[in-house]
């Protein structure tokens, strides 16, 4: 049965209840459940539309009051049709058949989304079939909720799909891929996809699952959930789609000035003296340095969130000395709590820790038996923030490295963990967003507006909490570097414009190895044209252990400063540090666009040139803002490569000054000291 309400189209069949509503310009939200009542969580979607009267529960999610709608500024035109009903909201039109099938069109009548039904419920459907496959399959989990599978038929054989977060594979176009909707170290599920045929789709479900973006059928799964919840927008350009998504899920804050330059990091500076000596050396050499990082195990035990006084005897003095040098300090935070830490029993008693369904309460067995704090619990968030505020923030440290944000488990038994907000299977993917929220809200309460914190993971909406995501503990290899290029571009299209990598990769790499030096140079060049330029890694060989207590047994990797790789490498790094410094005004402008509109800072060519069909096919070069075309070298020994110049413009080779007309692929020299780089003219 179809019911037309003031600003909502409803469908009911047996136990299934569906709501179709306008949700922002040219956009709709579709929810389906077989529960007695429609779930009210907003998940990634914002709740601050000016006309949306709402109540907020203790999880931070809003619940709608009867008779109110998410955005009355976008009143939909809803009418009955001969075979069902339609909802029209700007450029998007949703057609609902009497049999319950959905088809979504743009303003020109082009079919964008077509539910994959293969059954005999609606005999008027020309695809009526005896196969008996449902588009919205709610398969009961015995004694629990549902295993949901949502199927969409491919409507265009040439469709290309982008976004969905960060996966360790080289494909920018995700059509034909199989993606786990779950977080792991170096994998972030951010389930918003952008289609080349003119729509964006958010799988607004934080449960563990799977997305298969097949050639014939596209499916999304949630292994345990109460409802189907998707948000879809139609747009004429990728930028229009991306900006619509940002309006509904939030944008990043304005990047602080220290986010525009160079960040120095390694695994790990072991003492206060060592860290200050490195910062002093950068200043002695007159090299740009905006921020330096104290990595993990600077604390006595995990879950104590404070400096170990044995190795860091005067944090206040250290912070002041760095500020006198014009260097910001970032410290590593882990969400893990050791059983032997001073806070464990109190956190256990108050219910601030993630629970396990079976076995001992251990999530990560690394340098101690630990379990993570429950970031979905508001009281736990406040508890952790207060510890960090007292021991770091009040000392002048106003930027944090929120590591282990997935959270990382020793065994990824997603069915074994339970949070304040629900089971891991149902809501686990929201953890990194709530982890970022812990510190964002605490810093905001202190009056800080320009907030950026580094995280190893994200979910849809993490950007509004100041999340700068890096690509995790990746291999030091050209193959890995190539994967990061695809990851960074897709993260930007998934709504996470602040993104970075460990320059040189994380695992291994000897600074004295000529092969690694080549990789390091190529990665350093590329890192210059990433949203944040950050050097990090666990280099070989490991250094001798310094001390015997606290975190001292986590030995430091080999030196990882720009002068650690020999004179030739140093000269190249110095050049690119100066290039980055010279771009501060340009990068500041890119950060403003990300803050205002959600614009990715690094993006595929098609984002700026959607009418050029060749730009949809190029996957190994990108735009750094609207004016700079970057073509990284991601193969060992390569000293030249082909570069496509988008048509309709002239392009200048930064190194040679030569100007070429767009619309052609040209050979470009790429000696070791140069990354192919062009600027648009005019």
Q: What is the sign, positive or negative, of the torsion defined by CA atoms of 276, 279, 284, 290?
A: negative
What token pair was written down for 57?
């529960």
Euclidean distance between the first and final Cα of the chain, in Å?
58
406 included as an active-site residue: yes
Of all helices (H) and strands (E), which one includes residue 585?
Answer: helix 584-597
What tokens were used for 319?
A: 């912070």
| Local structure of residue 202 (DSSP, 8 states) | E
- Yes or no: say if 536 and 473 are a contact pair by the CB < 8 Å rule: no
Residue 462 to residue 413: CA distance in whole angstroms: 24
Given a contact cutoff of 8 angstroms between Cβ atoms, the answer to whether 466 and 451 are in contact is: yes
Residue appearing with tokens 């969905």? 164
Distances from the Cα of 376 to the Cα of 404, 422, 428, angstroms: 15, 9, 9
Rounded Cα distance between 405 and 400, Å, is 12
3-state helix, strand, coil in the chain (%, to 5): 25, 30, 45
Find the helix or strand (DSSP H, E) in which 330 lies: strand 328-333
Residue 317 to residue 306: CA distance in whole angstroms: 15
CA–CA separation, 102 and 115 (whole Å): 6
CA distances from residue 327 to 257, 264, 321, 323 in whole angstroms, order as listed: 11, 10, 9, 5
DSSP assignment of 387-419, as one string? HHHHHTGGGT---EEE-S-S---SS--GGGEEE
Q: Catalytic: which of 248, 406, 561, 608?
A: 406
Q: Name the β-bridge partners of 96.
A: 85, 102
Active site residue 236: no
CA distances from 432 to 30, 62, 95, 372, 419 (A): 25, 19, 36, 12, 13
Half-sphere exposure of 91 (CA within 13 A, CB side): 18
DSSP classification of residue 75: P
Give the C-alpha separation, 517 to 492, whole Å.
29
- Helical ranges in 392-507 per DSSP H: 424-427, 431-445, 478-493
Which residue, 44, 37, 59, is CA-closest to 205? 44
Beta carbons of 64 and 23 less than 8 angstroms apart: no
Closest of 134, 135, 150 to residue 207, by C-alpha: 150
From 115, 248, 374, 403, active-site residue = 403
SS3 category, 576: helix
93 exposed, middle or buried (CB, 10 Å; 0-12, 13-18, 19+)?
A: buried
Q: Is 403 a catalytic residue?
A: yes
The angle at the Cα of 180, spanning 178 to 185, to the nearest 5 degrees, equals 125
Q: Of 86, 434, 473, 612, which one is the catalytic site residue?
A: 473
Residue 260 · residue 584 · CB < 8 Å: yes
Q: Are 492 and 498 in contact (CB under 8 A)?
A: no
In this structure, the number of other CB atoms found within 10 A of the CB of residue 135 comes to: 22
- C-beta separation of 86 from 79 below 8 A: yes
User: In this structure, are residues 429 and 208 in contact, taking their beta carbons and an 8 Å threshold?
Assistant: yes
Q: How far apart are CA 392 and CA 385, in angstroms?
A: 10
Strand partners of residue 220:
150, 211
Catalytic residues: 403, 406, 473
């Amino acid at each position: 049965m179809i019911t037309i309400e003031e600003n909502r189209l409803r469908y009911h069949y047996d136990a299934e209840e569906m709501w179709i509503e306008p949700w922002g310009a040219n956009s709709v939200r579709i929810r389906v459940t077989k529960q007695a009542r429609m779930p009210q969580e907003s998940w990634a979607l914002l709740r601050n539309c000016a006309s949306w009267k709402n109540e907020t529960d203790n999880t931070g999610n809003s619940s709608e009051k009867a008779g109110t709608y998410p955005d009355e500024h976008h009143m939909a035109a809803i009418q009955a049709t001969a075979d069902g009903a339609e909802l029209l909201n700007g450029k998007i039109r949703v057609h609902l058949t009497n049999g319950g099938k959905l088809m979504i069109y743009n303003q020109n009548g082009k079919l964008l989304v077509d539910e994959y039904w293969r059954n005999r419920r609606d005999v008027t459907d020309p695809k009526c079939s005896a196969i008996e496959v449902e588009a919205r399959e709610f398969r009961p989990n015995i004694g629990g909720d549902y295993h949901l599978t949502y199927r969409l038929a491919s409507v265009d054989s040439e469709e290309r799909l982008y976004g969905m977060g960060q996966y360790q594979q080289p494909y920018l176009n995700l059509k034909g891929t199989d993606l786990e909707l779950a977080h792991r170290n170096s994998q972030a599920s951010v389930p918003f996809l952008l289609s080349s045929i003119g729509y964006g789709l958010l799988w607004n479900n934080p449960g563990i699952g799977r997305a298969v973006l097949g050639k014939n059928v596209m499916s999304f799964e949630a292994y345990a959930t109460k409802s189907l919840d998707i948000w879809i927008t139609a747009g004429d350009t990728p930028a229009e789609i991306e900006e619509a998504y940002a309006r509904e899920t939030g944008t990043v804050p304005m990047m602080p000035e220290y986010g525009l330059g160079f960040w120095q990091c390694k695994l790990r500076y072991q003492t206060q003296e060592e860290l200050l000596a490195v910062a002093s050396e950068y200043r002695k050499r007159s090299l740009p340095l905006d921020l330096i990082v104290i990595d993990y195990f600077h604390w006595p035990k995990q879950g104590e969130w404070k400096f170990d006084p044995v190795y860091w005897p005067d944090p206040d003095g250290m912070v002041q000395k760095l500020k006198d040098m014009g260097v910001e300090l970032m410290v590593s935070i882990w969400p893990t709590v050791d059983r032997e830490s001073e806070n464990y029993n109190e956190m256990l008693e108050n219910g601030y820790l993630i629970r396990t369904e079976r076995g001992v309460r251990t999530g990560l067995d690394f340098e101690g038996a630990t379990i993570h704090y429950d970031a979905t619990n508001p009281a736990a968030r406040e508890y952790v923030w207060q510890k960090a505020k007292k021991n770091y923030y009040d000392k002048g440290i106003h930027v944090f490295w929120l590591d282990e944000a997935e959270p990382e488990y020793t065994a990824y038994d997603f069915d074994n963990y339970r949070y304040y907000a629900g089971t891991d299977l149902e809501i686990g993917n929201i953890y990194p967003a709530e982890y970022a929220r812990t510190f964002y809200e605490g810093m905001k309460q202190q009056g800080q507006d320009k907030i950026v914190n580094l995280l190893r993971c994200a979910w849809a909406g993490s950007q509004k909490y100041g999340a700068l995501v890096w690509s995790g503990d990746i291999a030091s290899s050209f193959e890995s570097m190539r994967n990061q290029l695809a990851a960074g571009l897709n993260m930007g299209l998934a709504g996470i414009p602040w993104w970075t990598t460990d320059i040189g990769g994380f695992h291994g790499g000897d600074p004295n190895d000529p092969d690694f030096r080549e990789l390091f140079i190529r990665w350093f060049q590329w890192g210059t044209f990433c949203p944040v330029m950050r050097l990090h890694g666990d280099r070989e060989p490991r250094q001798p252990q310094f001390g015997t207590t606290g975190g001292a047994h986590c030995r430091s990797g080999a030196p990882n400063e720009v002068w650690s790789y020999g004179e030739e490498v140093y000269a190249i790094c110095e050049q690119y540090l100066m290039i980055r410094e010279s771009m501060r005004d340009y990068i500041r402008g890119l950060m403003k666009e990300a803050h205002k509109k959600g614009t990715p800072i690094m993006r595929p060519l098609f984002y700026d040139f959607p009418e050029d069909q060749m730009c949809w096919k190029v996957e190994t070069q990108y735009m750094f803002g609207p004016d700079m075309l970057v073509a990284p070298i991601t193969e060992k020994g390569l000293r030249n490569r082909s570069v496509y110049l988008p048509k309709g413009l002239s392009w200048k080779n930064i190194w040679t000054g030569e100007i070429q007309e767009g619309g052609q692929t040209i050979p470009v020299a790429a000696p070791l000291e140069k990354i192919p780089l062009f600027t648009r003219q005019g």
